[in-house]
Structure 1
Amino acid sequence: MQGVHAVTVSPVVIPVLETARFVLRGHTLADFDASAAMWGDPAVTRFIGGRPFTSDEVWARILRYHGHWALLGFGFWAIEDRATGQFIGEVGFADFRRPIEPPFGDTPEMGWSLAAAAHGNGVASEVVAAAAAWGDANFTHDRTVCIIAPENGASIRVAEKSGFGEVRRTDYHGSSTIVFERRRGG
């Protein structure tokens, strides 16, 4: 048939990371309901967009995570509790191409989000450290960045504990935000 071409897409291999209490793995279809519940919780999203996400936005997020792994070789992991097998959050890296000044370029941006029940138990510190170590071993970039709302003291503490330092304050979509940077091995 004239004008029809095919593109071969290689299988996406998402590494599995293990910590003492958690497994970081690629998202599966089975994670959708728990992820939608997490992103639909105002306690989770109050510093991330300021409103709960709809189920179609969560679906697009999961597809975006897989797209990052396929196109860029990095992305977000689902966080699974080793003891229960339950999905409790997400952590990883992305290139969101944010309209932020100055731009991040192709520097990987780290992010994390946890179900409210997992807050305050050292989960974020443990999984962010594991993801950052993976980034140190696998990125050619000499730094990673993250952005955090100034009111989000818990995430600021996690970032600082993981080697991120504040580099500037800026505005993103009309809200004040802090840009943090972590040098390789930070």
Structure 2
Amino acid sequence: MSNAPVLDTPRLILRPHRVEDYAACRRLWADADVVRFIGGTPQDAQAVWFRLLRYAGMWALLGYGMWAIEDRESGAFLGEAGLLSAERGLPELAGVPEAGWVMGPQAWGRGIATEAMSAVLEWADVHAHAPSIRCIVEPDNIPSIRVAEKLGFSALVDTLYGGKPTRVFDRPRTLD
């Protein structure tokens, strides 16, 4: 994923995923507490491997994608954040990048998601050339709703995705 830039924040390094991240990604996506509001089912080894391959493909084909979040001090893998195109079949997501973030338990409650996504959105405002960025959050996922609101997202519509209630949020591009 050589065309994904490295983003720096005071506490974090957002960098392209590497093959060496596979074990950490496996732990992240296999954790039932982590995926509780993201599909609800832990992912197996093959699904996580295909996820890593999709990340590379998004950067290559779309010019945006997901970053691995690394703790600047310790080098620990904390989670993932970025932009994606998931073709979910939701009309509200058509034609705009979707923001996404997932943190391991070691990052919860520390402002890591907000810090990482602030860097992603700053990058997106310059490079994504989209009128807005959208994200989806299950209405019971209060921590992610708070992150979305801190980042400037506002609720656009409540809908169903995969048979579950889902809220679509929108954040207009801040640069022209």
TM-score (norm: length of structure 1)? 0.91
User: Which whole-Å deviations, capped at 9, do the CAs of 1:97-141 have from their partners, x for residues lacking one?
Assistant: 1112x2422200000000111111110110011101000011211
Equivalent residue for 1:98? 88
Amino acid at match of 1:119: W
Write the distance in 2 (CA, Å) between the matches of 1:159 and 1:119. 15
Structure label with greater radius of gyration: 1
Amino acid at match of 1:21: R
Q: What secondary structure sits across from 1:136 in the alignment? A: helix
Q: What secondary structure sits across from 1:15 in the alignment? A: coil
Amino acid at match of 2:165: S
TM-score (norm: length of structure 2)? 0.96
Equivalent residue for 1:152? 141
Write the distance in 2 (CA, Å) between the matches of 1:139 and 1:71. 13
| Count of residues paired in the alignment | 175
Equivalent residue for 1:31? 21
**Moved segments of 4+, more than 3 Å:** none
Paired residue for 1:49, among 39, 64, 67?
39
Write the distance in 2 (CA, Å) between the matches of 1:56 and 1:106. 29
Equivalent residue for 1:79? 69
Write the distance in 2 (CA, Å) between the matches of 1:118 and 1:175. 26
Amino acid at match of 2:15: R
* 8 Å Cα contact 2:70/2:77 also seen in 1: yes
Equivalent residue for 2:165? 176
Equivalent residue for 2:6? 16
Identity of aligned residues (%): 45
Q: What secondary structure sits across from 2:33 in the alignment? A: helix
Which consecutive unaligned segments of at least 5 residues does structure 2 have? none
User: Which whole-Å deviations, capped at 9, do the CAs of 1:124-180 have from their partners, x for residues lacking one?
Assistant: 110011101000011211101000000000000000000000000000010000000
Write the distance in 1 (CA, Å) between the matches of 2:133 and 2:4. 19
Write the distance in 2 (CA, Å) between the matches of 1:151 and 1:26. 30
Please state how far the C-alpha of 1:57 moved relative to its aligned partner. 0.6
* 8 Å Cα contact 2:2/2:16 also seen in 1: no
